[in-house]
Amino acid sequence: MLGGGWWRVLGTPHPLLSPRRGEGVTPYWICVAPIWVLPDYFALIEAAGARRVVVLSSTSRFTKVGSGDTAEQATAAKLIDGETRVQAWAESRGIEWVILRPTLIYRPGCGISVHQRSE
């Protein structure tokens, strides 16, 4: 438990996967995986009694759509699809949803700092 909440790393989704016994309701969820992964866990999150879901996406959803790089276009398409699916799922079930779109997301060995970008 950290800061009044529980951190859980979810493995490969499985149709029979359900909340752990004795854990009760988990009303607040934060997803730091790519947004396009979250729909695989909708049933689990709903079964756990979710009331609010916070998900990471990226501003690339807007800025990379017209990119000359097909990989960037594909990523933008996955972000758009993921956001659309999260919103539709959450709204159809009365679950509050928040999508955060940072301008830069780093992965190990890749990326530059905001300061370097501004030079």
Phi, psi of 47 (to 5 degrees): -65, -25
Does some domain include residue 51?
yes
Enclosing H/E stretch for 63: helix 60-63
Does some domain include residue 110?
no
Does some domain include residue 67?
yes
Can you give the residue range of the structural domain that contains 65? 28-104
55 burial (CB, 10 Å; 0-12 / 13-18 / 19+) is: buried
Assign 25 a pLDDT band (cuts: 50, 70, 90): confident
Percentage of the chain beyond pLDDT 70 is 66
Q: Is a pLDDT exceeding 90 seen at residue 90?
A: yes
- E strand map for the chain: 28-31, 52-56, 96-100
Number of domains in the chain: 1
Does some domain include residue 113?
no
- Closest Cα to residue 97, out of 106, 108, 84? 84
The answer to whether the pTM exceeds 0.85 is: no
Does some domain include residue 89?
yes
Does some domain include residue 97?
yes
Per residue in 29-45, pLDDT tens?
A: 998 889 999 999 999 89
